[in-house]
Chains A and B, each alone.
Chain A
Amino acid sequence: MAEPSTAAQPAPTPQHAVVRHVVFFGRVLREGGLEVGPRRIADALRGLDAIDLGRQEDVYWTLRQTLVSRREDLETFDSAFHAWFLRVSVDAGLRPAGPPPPAVVRRKGGTPGPGPEVDGGEIELGAWSGNELLRTRDFAAMTAEEFARARVLIRQIAVGRPRRRTHRLRPDRRGSVIDVRGLVRASLATGGDPVVRAYRSRAHAPRKLVLILDISGSMEAYARALLLYLHAARGSGRGVETFAFGTRLTRLTTELGTRSADAALAAASRRVVDWSGGTRIGDSLKAYNDEWGRRALTRGAVVVVVSDGCDRGDPTLVETEMARLARQAFAVVWVNPLKGHPGYEPLTGGMRAASPHIDRLVSGHDLASLEALGTVLDGIERRHTA
């Protein structure tokens, strides 16, 4: 393995300069949110060793291919490369996520801020009746103390997952496929007679789950509770993808992957730029379908859209994009906190346009309804073809 430099060399050589440059560049990328470990740096140095450093294009590709591993990071890499190696000012439009802007999470009304937290551990056993009341209390009407208790419960609720049969086979005595490997082994004892039979059958695995949360102004009272639900669902196992949207779509799967709910929420709020602003459901669903649906994320998944359906955009776009979503998904569930209010009718333009493509509509305005959502997800069937 070619080591680019030897430690004993005292004078600064071009080699040293390269090493220093690359190590520092790695640090720049890390600040931009890329995972650049020592292994990648070593690869980059070995790569640079193998090419002609005089060709800037080759240097670019070598660094990119060794330091980046996700398409989402290419833009960040490009601007960092331009800024660092080419010494041109970073174009404002191409600016990487870089050091994230200060978190702006606004809350009002019933959803408390990050202020005084009541430790979940302080709930006494006798508090059960209190929890019963809490279950049916609208998130929007909760006090700070109630919300602190509710968030502990949310974590316990978000475990319902749709399941599917996999193509993988697992040993199963009541299975229908003969396990020949097991059979041969067992036959050793009986001189080649397959006396003991081993079977295998198809296993069950959690079905893909995609959660898309509306965090626009009209959802503000519910956004924090529902984001906690998303975080809990994300922690329930593999194959869960989470998104948020107001006027634009943001993927939050990585941010919500942190175990601590507070850290996850903080990371998510840094990532989302359009908290409590307007809503463009149609455009956001389109962005989802274009970027993630095309990559077949939707195929075979249960998609849950959480929104009150109040939309400032074009309802026909909502209709088209919901149709696209529904065609690919295993089933579509819409969670609308407004549905919990007595006398609710789907009158908002976006909601009306979406309804023909929804398999199940649930409310999600309190703990009880989130529990119900879990039950719905647990037993959901393939969408009916109209």
Chain B
Amino acid sequence: MMFASIDELDSALTGASYLADRGLATALYLSLELEKPLLLEGEAGVGKTEAAKAIAASLEAPLIRLQCYEGLDIAHAVYEWNYARQLLHIRAAQSGTVDEGELFAREFLIRRPVLEALESEERVVLLIDEIDRADEEFEAFLLEVLSDFQVTVPELGTIAARQRPYVILTSNRTRELHDALKRRCLYHWIDHPSVEREIQIVELRVPGVPERLAEEAARFAAELRSLDLQKPPGLAETIDWVRALSALGRQELDVENVEATLGMLLKYHEDLLAIRDETLAGLVAAARG
């Protein structure tokens, strides 16, 4: 399924409970149109991973996710040989000799996310999450996948994609990515949403939330972001927080409740110490307008 225009894609995303701003909608649209991988960067909790899930849902395409971590290698990202089966196969061959071609055949191949995405019969969305956590060696390997949509298995040769997957990469910028990798991608920086947008998102993601609570919570989060904190709350934190307050039956913010639940928004001890007493009361008053 493809989209005829950015607007069409935008409404499909809304249908998947994801409110994208125009910039992100354009980025996703271009990525589909130009068949280029999209690199999403932004502060933690602005909805990078969610965007990939939402586009997969709107395309009605399966999402294959590769979570990156330090030490991630080809055996965990692309393919691995099924060694146990291979050993058994050698044993089982009574005649005595097994040649290599027989042993390194596709039936002994275990498909990991990248190969799975390339070999899939239908188009999939391949999410390469937090690429900045993987080693630079792995990044270099990805170049082949991202520019030619193929991987090379030494024993089998080159495996090209049956259907080009839609690739979305996310990065929290814990380190700078290689220019070579970036050159192969479209780039979009996701900012914190505006207050109005955040209210809409909260209302969409927390069904039945009191209107007043959603408004005040979004304004409170925006106030926190304007302060000088070590880790300002992301959109994901606001949503969790409102969900909790809503479950507690709150209709609006008050100092006592905010104080008791502030740990859901601020994850650093120093930040919690900075937002107390008068500061907190002032922020709550400002959010209540």
Contact = CB atoms under 8 A, between A and B. Distances in A.
Bind each other: yes
B81 A294 contact: no
A289 B231 CA distance: 11
Contacts of A58: 6, 22, 26
Contact of B172 (A167, A181, A295): A295
Contact of B36 (A43, A238, A290, A324): A43
A61 B23 contact: yes
A74 B189 contact: yes
Interface stretch (B47-55, B177-185, B250-258, B279-287): B177-185
Interface of B: 5-6, 22-23, 26-27, 29-30, 33-34, 36, 39, 41, 69-71, 73, 81, 83, 86-88, 90-91, 96, 98, 100, 103, 135-137, 172-176, 179, 182-183, 185-189, 228, 230-231, 270
Contacts of B88: 192
A109 B231 CA distance: 44
A382 B222 CA distance: 38
Nearest to A295: B173
A50 B33 contact: yes
Nearest to B24: A61
Interface in A46-61: 46-47, 50-52, 57-58, 61
Contacts of A51: 6, 26, 29-30
26 contacts: A40-B183, A43-B34, A43-B36, A47-B30, A50-B33, A51-B30, A58-B6, A62-B26, A62-B30, A65-B26, A65-B188, A66-B30, A69-B39, A70-B176, A70-B187, A166-B70, A167-B71, A168-B135, A168-B137, A184-B81, A184-B87, A184-B103, A187-B90, A191-B91, A294-B231, A297-B175
Contacts of B6: 51-52, 58
A183 B86 CA distance: 11
B22, B34, B70, B98: most-surrounded residue (chain A CB, <10 A): B34
Contacts of B179: 35, 69
A166 B71 contact: yes
A192 B183 CA distance: 46
A290 to B, nearest CB: 8
Contacts of B83: 180-181, 183-184
Contact of A69 (B36, B175, B183): B183
Contact of B70 (A66, A167, A188): A167
Nearest to A46: B34
Contacts of A183: 83
B86 A47 contact: no
B230 A192 contact: no
Nearest to B36: A43
A52 B231 contact: no
B187 A65 contact: yes
A46 B281 CA distance: 52
B23 A68 contact: no
Given A43-B34, A166-B135, A296 B189 contact: no
A68 B41 CA distance: 12
B100 A188 contact: yes
A40, A50, A169: most-surrounded residue (chain B CB, <10 A): A50
A341 interface: no
B81 A181 contact: yes
Given A68-B187, A191-B96, 6 more contacts: A51-B6, A58-B6, A66-B30, A183-B83, A295-B173, A296-B174
Interface in A26-85: 35, 37, 39-40, 43, 46-47, 50-52, 57-58, 61-62, 64-66, 68-71, 74
Contact of A39 (B23, B135, B183, B188): B183
Given A57-B22, A181-B83, A43 B186 contact: yes
B36 A168 contact: no
A243 to B, nearest CB: 14
B96 A50 contact: no
Given A35-B179, A71-B173, A184-B83, A65 B30 contact: yes
B69, B90, B182, B187: most-surrounded residue (chain A CB, <10 A): B187
Nearest to B90: A192
A168 B71 contact: yes
A372 to B, nearest CB: 29
B149 to A, nearest CB: 15
B156 to A, nearest CB: 14
Contacts of B5: 52
Contact of A61 (B26, B100, B136): B26
Contacts of A181: 81, 83
